[in-house]
Amino acid sequence: MVTTQDLRVGNKYRIGRKIGSGSFGDIYLGTNIISGEEIAIKLESVKAKHPQLEYEARVYKSLAGGVGIPFVRWFGTECDYNAMVIDLLGPSLEDLFNFCNRKFSLKTVLLLADQLISRIEYIHAKSFIHRDIKPDNFLMGIGKRGNQVNVIDFGLAKKYRDPKTHFHIPYRENKNLTGTARYASINTHLGVEQSRRDDMESLGYVMLYFCRGTLPWQGLKAATKKQKYDRIMEKKMTTPTEVLCRGFPNEFSIYLNYTRSLRFDDKPDYSYLRKIFRDLFVRESYQYDYVFDWTVYKYQKNAAMIADATNNKKDKEADGRQNVAGAQAPIATTATAAKPGAISSQRRKVLDHNTLNNTPDTNRAMGGSDRMLRSASKVAASGAYGPAGSRTKRDDGYGAQCFLHANNFHQPRSPGPPVITNYHSFDSSLRIQNPAAPSSFVPPPHSPPESFSKHSVSSNDFPNSHAEPGSVEGGDDQLQHRSSSEEKDNLTPAQSKRKAQNRAAAANISPIGASSQRAFRERKERHVRELEEKVSTLEQESTTLAADNERLKRELAKYATENEVLRATTGQFASSQGRHLDSEPTVTGPMKYTPTDFYTNLVPKGEPAPTHRVTICEKTGEKLLDAGATWDLIQGHELYKQGLVDIGDVSNRLKGMAQCNGQGPAFREGQVLRAIEASAAAGRDELI
């Protein structure tokens, strides 16, 4: 039997180990055989009762090109599996939420809210609704896109309108719950067909989940799944938004009330929702520096790890000095290296510290390799240091739920004396990790907060801090036999420059140079952030302009229709006046009855403005015409064009026949046609 480990997809991608699961398939880590780039491969058995992977691939293709939409490299069938090759991404928001002790700060929630609203707006602009909005389906990018939120898992997505005509799907009820009950909208619980409003309401629950840590309807027990869903629905409906959002800014309550007030086919005002959160962000004096909670938390863990290692080393050195009787001079730096077994139990306790286990990485380079340091948690008494700029194959990852996680782990190293990293000034590229840890996390490219810089450790804190980059094993004797010229010959220019910078920082020789480097790095990062903000602003403006353009086109078409009607009727009236200056027509013509009068007569007070929408009656299959569409039908009828129809009479005949189509009063097409014919017949009788 062929297993997934034996498969090669598309003659180009090799399948690795399983890293997660999606709604309709399992996810595997894959490798491009030609380039070595790592990707994600989603597999689904061809024998599945309800195959969904091909549909999901088509949805991705329809959404291709959008910001935060993964790119599908290949789709097809291999052996007994449908396979989809897609971009490899970082951890999900659910993983990062757990990493941050299941609570996000207001700043992080607002930074995420801006991107999340934009992602859903783009999906809706492409005529799809997601229908499974939850933290597991939003993943952070890797590498240069480590601060970008991505949307995945479109197995439950659905078109809510025709992409060309924008004809909205009809309102339906008695639908089964689709999606995740915890974040589902109230209308979804009630069995109403989902539309754009439901995605936005679910997003509101996600943001409150991040703020609160839990939602009131979590942890409810019931005998059956249906009873549990009913209890969740009851709790959602009976929990006021003021209670749900208590302790948090009023903007969250405004957001939730707005999304719940939308009608079935209403288009949410995405710009308004983004604006209320942006205004709150500015009012709280936050900075758009893309420093999320997990970024800060990672720095804190690294700083604590470095401080622990430094304190333990100093304690050991102090103990050693006390044990040497009559020692007058410092110990020579060329002392014989201790054996691996000489590592104290106290140091082993520090090295085996698991505080960095499960540390996500949102800055992972494409292809699985990245510039990183050797693990600082392996200490060798020889004093040799790992290469500060070595290329190391990495497999990081997270999440059994979200399929594009890079859920990989460091390969176990061969047993031997542990090695300590060449410490230098603490910056965003420094990575301290326990080799036994299942994953690593590298923050996005920002300068660390000033409060963390004081925990940095220079190479002066350890012996032989100027060991040759690239040396992994060996004692001081090996270093003594190397001349400075040989050492320089074995270094690349970049390594030499980096070594000089580390030496200067360690000896604190050139504070001016260090400050200038830090200033240059900050200017560069500030410039990158400004460019990202400009791109984001332009994208949002483009989306807004496209929506406005679409709205103006619809209004133009509407006014053009009314203008044509008025021109036609005005011409008939003028010719009639020329022929019969002394007599009024015996039949009330359309010029006597304006569209406004017609709508006022048919549509009750308080109803929304009439639309030209046409829906289908679920029971009879007959067309249901809104007031605007009814007017259009009368205007286009042959009897009306012959001047035989009294529109006022037609409106009176239609009174009381209206029925609700989910949005307002509507009339069956047959009823309208019969009213037109009856009005024309009555007009003929009066003329006779």
Cβ neighbourhood burial of 400 (10 Å; 0-12, 13-18, 19+): middle
| Residue closest to 603 by CA, chosen among 628, 623, 624, 622 | 628
Cβ 457 vs Cβ 309: under 8 Å: yes
3-state secondary structure of 441: coil
| Cα–Cα distance measured from residue 645 to residue 626, given in angstroms and rounded to the nearest whole number | 20
| Cα–Cα distance measured from residue 273 to residue 88, given in angstroms and rounded to the nearest whole number | 30
Outline where 284-367 has alpha helix (H): 293-323, 345-351
Strand blocks (E) in 520-639: 614-616, 623-625
> What's the CA angle centered on 560, arms 558 and 563, to 5 degrees?
110
87 is catalytic: no
Strand partners of residue 13: 9, 32
Residue 227 CB partners (closer than 8 Å, separation 6+): none
Choose the catalytic residue: 87, 95, 132, 396: 132
Cβ 236 vs Cβ 217: under 8 Å: yes
| Residue closest to 83 by CA, chosen among 49, 119, 40, 118 | 40
* Dihedral over Cα of 618, 622, 628, 630: its sign: negative
φ and ψ at residue 74, rounded to 5 degrees = -160, 145
Cβ neighbourhood burial of 178 (10 Å; 0-12, 13-18, 19+): middle
φ and ψ at residue 550, rounded to 5 degrees = -65, -45
Cα–Cα distances (Å) from 388 to 74, 368, 396, 522, in that order, read 37, 18, 20, 22
* Beta-sheet pairing, 138-140 with 149-151: antiparallel
| Cα–Cα distance measured from residue 51 to residue 25, given in angstroms and rounded to the nearest whole number | 9
| Cα–Cα distance measured from residue 116 to residue 129, given in angstroms and rounded to the nearest whole number | 14
To the question of whether residue 298 is assigned a binding role by annotation, the answer is no
Which DSSP string do the residues of 345-384 spell out, in sequence order? HHHHHHHT--TTTT---S-PPGGGEEE-PPPTT---TT--
Rounded to the nearest 10°, the torsion over CA 568, 571, 572, 578 is 180
Residue 91 CB partners (closer than 8 Å, separation 6+): 99, 139, 140, 360, 361, 362, 397, 398, 399, 402, 405, 406
| Cα–Cα distance measured from residue 639 to residue 676, given in angstroms and rounded to the nearest whole number | 8
| Cα–Cα distance measured from residue 319 to residue 314, given in angstroms and rounded to the nearest whole number | 9
| Residues involved in catalysis | 132
Binding residues: 42
Binding residues for ATP: 42
